[in-house]
Amino acid sequence: MEIITDILSLHARLKKESCIAFIPTMGNLHAGHLSLAKIARKKASCVVVSIFVNRLQFSEIKDFNKYPRTFESDSKLLINENVNVLFAPHESDLFPLKQEFFVEPPLFANILEGEFRHNFFRNVATIVLKFFNLIHPQIALFGKKDYQQLKIISAMVQQLNLPIEIIAGETIRTQDGLALSSRNLYLSTDERSKATRLYQVLLEIKIQVESGSKDFQSLQNKAREILKNRGWEVDYIALHQRNTLAPAQANVQDLVVLGAARLGNTRLIDNLEISTKI
Ligand code: PAF
Protein backbone atom coordinates (compact mmCIF):
# COMPACT_ATOMS: atom_id res chain seq x y z
CA MET A 1 0.00 0.00 0.00
CA GLU A 2 1.25 3.45 -0.87
CA ILE A 3 0.61 6.27 1.56
CA ILE A 4 0.18 9.53 -0.36
CA THR A 5 -0.26 12.91 1.25
CA ASP A 6 -0.07 15.34 -1.67
CA ILE A 7 -2.20 15.87 -4.74
CA LEU A 8 0.59 15.77 -7.35
CA SER A 9 1.80 12.36 -6.18
CA LEU A 10 -1.80 11.15 -6.07
CA HIS A 11 -2.34 12.13 -9.70
CA ALA A 12 0.93 10.52 -10.77
CA ARG A 13 0.03 7.28 -8.97
CA LEU A 14 -3.55 7.04 -10.29
CA LYS A 15 -3.18 8.29 -13.86
CA LYS A 16 -2.87 4.82 -15.45
CA GLU A 17 -5.55 3.17 -13.32
CA SER A 18 -8.73 2.36 -15.23
CA CYS A 19 -10.88 0.94 -12.43
CA ILE A 20 -10.64 2.73 -9.11
CA ALA A 21 -12.87 2.03 -6.11
CA PHE A 22 -12.81 4.81 -3.53
CA ILE A 23 -13.78 4.81 0.15
CA PRO A 24 -13.74 8.21 1.89
CA THR A 25 -13.22 8.01 5.66
CA MET A 26 -12.23 10.17 8.60
CA GLY A 27 -10.06 7.36 9.98
CA ASN A 28 -10.42 5.51 13.27
CA LEU A 29 -11.32 2.57 11.10
CA HIS A 30 -13.49 -0.31 12.28
CA ALA A 31 -15.03 -3.43 10.76
CA GLY A 32 -17.64 -1.29 8.99
CA HIS A 33 -14.98 0.50 6.95
CA LEU A 34 -13.11 -2.76 6.39
CA SER A 35 -16.24 -4.43 5.03
CA LEU A 36 -16.39 -1.64 2.41
CA ALA A 37 -12.72 -2.28 1.59
CA LYS A 38 -13.48 -5.98 1.08
CA ILE A 39 -16.30 -5.17 -1.37
CA ALA A 40 -14.06 -2.64 -3.14
CA ARG A 41 -11.26 -5.21 -3.49
CA LYS A 42 -13.59 -7.52 -5.42
CA LYS A 43 -14.87 -4.75 -7.70
CA ALA A 44 -11.80 -2.79 -8.76
CA SER A 45 -8.15 -3.19 -9.67
CA CYS A 46 -7.17 -0.19 -7.56
CA VAL A 47 -8.66 0.53 -4.13
CA VAL A 48 -8.13 4.01 -2.71
CA VAL A 49 -9.07 4.93 0.87
CA SER A 50 -8.87 8.50 2.10
CA ILE A 51 -8.37 9.49 5.71
CA PHE A 52 -9.21 13.11 6.32
CA VAL A 53 -10.96 14.62 9.33
CA ASN A 54 -13.05 17.25 7.62
CA ARG A 55 -13.14 20.30 9.86
CA LEU A 56 -16.04 21.75 7.83
CA GLN A 57 -18.47 19.08 8.95
CA PHE A 58 -17.98 19.61 12.69
CA SER A 59 -20.19 22.23 14.25
CA GLU A 60 -17.92 22.61 17.27
CA ILE A 61 -14.15 22.92 17.22
CA LYS A 62 -13.88 20.82 20.39
CA ASP A 63 -15.57 17.88 18.61
CA PHE A 64 -13.16 18.27 15.71
CA ASN A 65 -10.18 18.34 18.08
CA LYS A 66 -11.26 15.31 20.08
CA TYR A 67 -12.10 13.18 17.02
CA PRO A 68 -9.93 10.05 17.39
CA ARG A 69 -6.86 10.07 15.12
CA THR A 70 -5.38 6.59 14.85
CA PHE A 71 -3.34 6.75 11.65
CA GLU A 72 -0.79 4.01 12.49
CA SER A 73 -3.35 1.35 13.35
CA ASP A 74 -5.63 2.47 10.47
CA SER A 75 -2.81 1.98 7.95
CA LYS A 76 -2.10 -1.52 9.25
CA LEU A 77 -5.75 -2.47 8.90
CA LEU A 78 -5.80 -1.17 5.31
CA ILE A 79 -2.62 -3.09 4.41
CA ASN A 80 -4.39 -6.26 5.60
CA GLU A 81 -7.27 -5.49 3.22
CA ASN A 82 -4.87 -5.11 0.28
CA VAL A 83 -5.77 -1.49 -0.25
CA ASN A 84 -3.54 0.04 -2.92
CA VAL A 85 -3.47 3.69 -1.94
CA LEU A 86 -4.10 5.48 1.33
CA PHE A 87 -4.63 9.16 0.60
CA ALA A 88 -4.18 11.31 3.70
CA PRO A 89 -3.95 14.90 2.50
CA HIS A 90 -2.87 17.85 4.59
CA GLU A 91 -5.61 20.36 5.21
CA SER A 92 -3.60 23.09 3.49
CA ASP A 93 -3.32 20.96 0.35
CA LEU A 94 -7.06 20.35 0.13
CA PHE A 95 -7.97 23.88 1.12
CA PRO A 96 -5.21 26.15 -0.20
CA LEU A 97 -7.83 28.92 -0.26
CA LYS A 98 -10.83 29.50 1.96
CA GLN A 99 -13.60 27.22 0.65
CA GLU A 100 -16.26 29.52 -0.75
CA PHE A 101 -17.92 27.20 -3.26
CA PHE A 102 -20.21 24.55 -1.76
CA VAL A 103 -22.49 21.83 -3.02
CA GLU A 104 -26.06 22.82 -2.16
CA PRO A 105 -27.84 19.57 -1.35
CA PRO A 106 -31.56 18.93 -1.88
CA LEU A 107 -34.13 19.88 0.76
CA PHE A 108 -34.06 16.47 2.39
CA ALA A 109 -30.62 17.46 3.71
CA ASN A 110 -32.45 19.74 6.16
CA ILE A 111 -34.45 17.03 7.92
CA LEU A 112 -33.25 14.35 10.38
CA GLU A 113 -29.48 14.93 10.83
CA GLY A 114 -29.72 18.19 8.93
CA GLU A 115 -32.13 19.60 11.50
CA PHE A 116 -29.59 19.12 14.27
CA ARG A 117 -26.37 19.80 12.35
CA HIS A 118 -26.54 23.02 10.41
CA ASN A 119 -24.99 22.80 6.90
CA PHE A 120 -23.70 19.33 7.72
CA PHE A 121 -24.61 17.71 4.40
CA ARG A 122 -23.54 20.74 2.38
CA ASN A 123 -20.10 20.34 3.92
CA VAL A 124 -20.03 16.55 3.54
CA ALA A 125 -21.14 16.76 -0.11
CA THR A 126 -18.51 19.41 -0.79
CA ILE A 127 -15.59 17.41 0.60
CA VAL A 128 -16.80 14.23 -1.12
CA LEU A 129 -17.07 16.04 -4.45
CA LYS A 130 -13.53 17.42 -3.96
CA PHE A 131 -12.29 13.85 -3.40
CA PHE A 132 -14.19 12.58 -6.44
CA ASN A 133 -12.54 15.30 -8.54
CA LEU A 134 -9.08 14.41 -7.25
CA ILE A 135 -9.37 10.63 -7.47
CA HIS A 136 -11.75 10.07 -10.43
CA PRO A 137 -13.09 6.79 -9.10
CA GLN A 138 -15.39 4.56 -11.15
CA ILE A 139 -16.91 3.22 -7.92
CA ALA A 140 -17.36 4.81 -4.49
CA LEU A 141 -18.50 3.03 -1.35
CA PHE A 142 -20.51 4.37 1.59
CA GLY A 143 -21.96 2.61 4.63
CA LYS A 144 -25.69 2.44 5.28
CA LYS A 145 -24.97 3.41 8.90
CA ASP A 146 -24.93 7.04 7.68
CA TYR A 147 -28.11 6.51 5.71
CA GLN A 148 -28.95 10.12 4.92
CA GLN A 149 -25.36 10.77 3.83
CA LEU A 150 -25.55 7.79 1.47
CA LYS A 151 -28.79 9.09 -0.07
CA ILE A 152 -27.45 12.62 -0.47
CA ILE A 153 -24.23 11.46 -2.14
CA SER A 154 -26.25 9.15 -4.42
CA ALA A 155 -28.50 12.09 -5.38
CA MET A 156 -25.46 14.31 -5.99
CA VAL A 157 -23.89 11.72 -8.29
CA GLN A 158 -27.14 11.30 -10.18
CA GLN A 159 -28.09 14.95 -10.48
CA LEU A 160 -24.60 16.23 -11.31
CA ASN A 161 -24.02 13.40 -13.82
CA LEU A 162 -20.90 12.13 -12.11
CA PRO A 163 -19.73 8.91 -13.80
CA ILE A 164 -19.46 7.03 -10.52
CA GLU A 165 -21.31 3.97 -9.28
CA ILE A 166 -22.25 4.30 -5.60
CA ILE A 167 -22.20 1.06 -3.65
CA ALA A 168 -23.84 0.85 -0.23
CA GLY A 169 -22.33 -1.36 2.47
CA GLU A 170 -24.47 -2.91 5.21
CA THR A 171 -24.12 -1.62 8.76
CA ILE A 172 -21.81 -3.81 10.79
CA ARG A 173 -22.93 -4.46 14.39
CA THR A 174 -21.51 -5.88 17.58
CA GLN A 175 -23.08 -9.13 18.82
CA ASP A 176 -25.60 -7.22 20.94
CA GLY A 177 -26.65 -5.07 17.96
CA LEU A 178 -24.79 -1.79 18.45
CA ALA A 179 -23.87 -0.28 15.07
CA LEU A 180 -20.11 0.19 14.78
CA SER A 181 -19.10 3.83 14.92
CA SER A 182 -16.04 5.82 15.91
CA ARG A 183 -18.26 7.53 18.48
CA ASN A 184 -18.75 4.28 20.43
CA LEU A 185 -15.29 4.94 21.88
CA TYR A 186 -16.72 7.86 23.83
CA LEU A 187 -19.17 5.64 25.75
CA SER A 188 -18.37 4.77 29.39
CA THR A 189 -18.64 1.08 30.36
CA ASP A 190 -22.07 1.72 31.85
CA GLU A 191 -23.25 3.66 28.77
CA ARG A 192 -21.89 0.96 26.48
CA SER A 193 -24.06 -1.64 28.23
CA LYS A 194 -27.13 0.57 27.59
CA ALA A 195 -26.21 1.77 24.10
CA THR A 196 -27.81 -1.14 22.28
CA ARG A 197 -31.25 0.16 23.37
CA LEU A 198 -31.35 2.48 20.34
CA TYR A 199 -31.01 -0.50 18.01
CA GLN A 200 -33.62 -2.41 20.02
CA VAL A 201 -36.31 0.27 19.70
CA LEU A 202 -35.64 0.56 15.95
CA LEU A 203 -35.82 -3.21 15.63
CA GLU A 204 -39.16 -3.27 17.44
CA ILE A 205 -40.55 -0.72 14.96
CA LYS A 206 -39.21 -2.76 12.04
CA ILE A 207 -40.85 -5.94 13.40
CA GLN A 208 -44.18 -4.17 13.98
CA VAL A 209 -44.24 -2.52 10.54
CA GLU A 210 -43.19 -5.71 8.78
CA SER A 211 -46.04 -7.51 10.58
CA GLY A 212 -48.54 -5.03 9.19
CA SER A 213 -48.74 -2.15 11.68
CA LYS A 214 -49.51 1.14 9.94
CA ASP A 215 -49.75 3.32 13.02
CA PHE A 216 -46.35 4.87 12.45
CA GLN A 217 -46.95 7.80 14.79
CA SER A 218 -47.62 5.69 17.86
CA LEU A 219 -44.71 3.34 17.07
CA GLN A 220 -42.37 6.35 16.86
CA ASN A 221 -43.80 7.91 20.04
CA LYS A 222 -43.48 4.67 21.97
CA ALA A 223 -39.84 4.23 20.94
CA ARG A 224 -39.04 7.83 21.95
CA GLU A 225 -40.73 7.28 25.33
CA ILE A 226 -38.77 4.09 25.99
CA LEU A 227 -35.50 5.86 25.32
CA LYS A 228 -36.43 8.98 27.32
CA ASN A 229 -37.48 6.87 30.31
CA ARG A 230 -34.06 5.28 30.27
CA GLY A 231 -32.20 8.57 30.32
CA TRP A 232 -31.63 9.18 26.60
CA GLU A 233 -32.13 12.57 25.00
CA VAL A 234 -33.87 11.81 21.73
CA ASP A 235 -33.37 13.92 18.59
CA TYR A 236 -35.56 11.80 16.34
CA ILE A 237 -37.02 8.37 15.79
CA ALA A 238 -38.71 8.53 12.42
CA LEU A 239 -40.01 6.35 9.62
CA HIS A 240 -39.18 7.53 6.11
CA GLN A 241 -39.26 6.33 2.54
CA ARG A 242 -35.94 4.82 1.58
CA ASN A 243 -35.09 6.63 -1.62
CA THR A 244 -36.45 10.12 -1.12
CA LEU A 245 -36.40 10.16 2.69
CA ALA A 246 -39.91 11.63 2.50
CA PRO A 247 -42.00 10.78 5.60
CA ALA A 248 -43.28 7.20 5.49
CA GLN A 249 -46.71 6.54 4.06
CA ALA A 250 -48.77 3.44 4.65
CA ASN A 251 -49.03 2.66 0.91
CA VAL A 252 -45.27 2.84 0.26
CA GLN A 253 -43.26 -0.35 0.30
CA ASP A 254 -39.62 0.44 0.99
CA LEU A 255 -39.18 2.22 4.27
CA VAL A 256 -36.38 2.93 6.71
CA VAL A 257 -36.59 3.80 10.38
CA LEU A 258 -33.90 6.20 11.54
CA GLY A 259 -32.93 7.28 15.02
CA ALA A 260 -30.56 9.70 16.71
CA ALA A 261 -30.25 10.07 20.46
CA ARG A 262 -27.76 11.13 23.07
CA LEU A 263 -26.60 8.90 25.88
CA GLY A 264 -24.59 11.02 28.30
CA ASN A 265 -22.33 13.11 26.08
CA THR A 266 -22.37 10.72 23.15
CA ARG A 267 -24.77 11.15 20.25
CA LEU A 268 -25.50 7.89 18.45
CA ILE A 269 -27.34 7.35 15.17
CA ASP A 270 -28.68 4.17 13.67
CA ASN A 271 -31.27 2.95 11.17
CA LEU A 272 -32.92 -0.19 9.85
CA GLU A 273 -34.43 -0.78 6.44
CA ILE A 274 -37.95 -2.16 6.47
CA SER A 275 -39.59 -4.24 3.76
CA THR A 276 -43.35 -4.18 3.78
CA LYS A 277 -45.83 -5.87 1.50
CA ILE A 278 -48.66 -3.59 0.40
O1 PAF B 1 -18.75 9.31 6.69
C2 PAF B 1 -17.71 9.94 6.90
O3 PAF B 1 -16.78 9.46 7.56
C4 PAF B 1 -17.56 11.36 6.36
O5 PAF B 1 -18.77 12.04 6.38
C6 PAF B 1 -16.94 11.40 4.95
C7 PAF B 1 -17.83 10.73 3.92
C8 PAF B 1 -15.58 10.71 4.97
C9 PAF B 1 -16.74 12.85 4.51
O10 PAF B 1 -15.86 13.53 5.35
Q: Is the CB of 26 under 6 A from ligand 1?
A: yes
Starting at the edge strand that comes first in sequence, how are the strands of the sheet with 2-4 ordered?
Answer: 2-4, 85-87, 46-51, 20-25, 139-143, 165-169
d(CA 174, CA 263): 18
> Which atom of ligand 1 is least distant from the CA of 54?
10
Give residue 70 CA to ligand 1 midpoint distance, Å: 16
**CATH 3.40.50.620 boundaries in the chain:** 2-169
C-alpha dist (Å) from residue 249 to 107, 201, 211, 254, 270: 19, 20, 16, 10, 21
Residue from 128, 99, 129, 105 nearest 117 by CA: 105
The SS3 call for residue 258 is: strand
**CATH 3.30.1300.10 boundaries in the chain:** 182-270
Q: Is 33 a catalytic residue?
A: yes
278 has pLDDT over 80: no
Mutational pocket test of ligand 1: of 23, 26, 164, 180, the residue with most ligand atoms within 8 Å of the beta carbon? 26
Q: What is the pLDDT of residue 250?
A: 87
What's the mean pLDDT in 96-105?
A: 97
What's the mean pLDDT in 252-276?
A: 96
CATH architecture of the domain with range 2-169 = 3-Layer(aba) Sandwich (3.40)
Q: What is the pLDDT of residue 252?
A: 86
C-alpha dist (Å) from residue 164 to 137, 161, 202: 7, 9, 32
Residue 190's Cβ-count burial label (10 Å; 0-12, 13-18, 19+) is: exposed
Average pLDDT over the chain, rounded to whole?
97
Q: Is the CB of 124 under 6 A from ligand 1?
A: yes
User: Could you report the per-residue pLDDT of 163-220, keeping only the tens digit for each?
Assistant: 999 999 999 999 999 999 999 999 999 999 999 999 999 999 999 999 999 999 999 9
> Which atom of ligand 1 is least distant from the CA of 24?
8
Q: What is the pLDDT of residue 251?
A: 86
Other CB atoms within 10 A of residue 127 CB: 22
> Which atom of ligand 1 is least distant from the CA of 124?
9
Give residue 192 CA to ligand 1 midpoint distance, Å: 24
Q: Is the CB of 146 under 6 A from ligand 1?
A: yes
User: Could you report the per-residue pLDDT of 46-94, keeping only the tens digit for each?
Assistant: 999 999 999 999 989 999 999 999 999 999 999 999 999 999 999 999 9
Tell the residue nearest (CA) to atom 8 of ligand 1: 25
Assess if CATH 3.30.1300.10 describes domain 182-270. yes
Give residue 67 CA to ligand 1 midpoint distance, Å: 13
37 has pLDDT over 70: yes
Q: How many residues does the chain have?
A: 278
> Which atom of ligand 1 is least distant from the CA of 128?
9
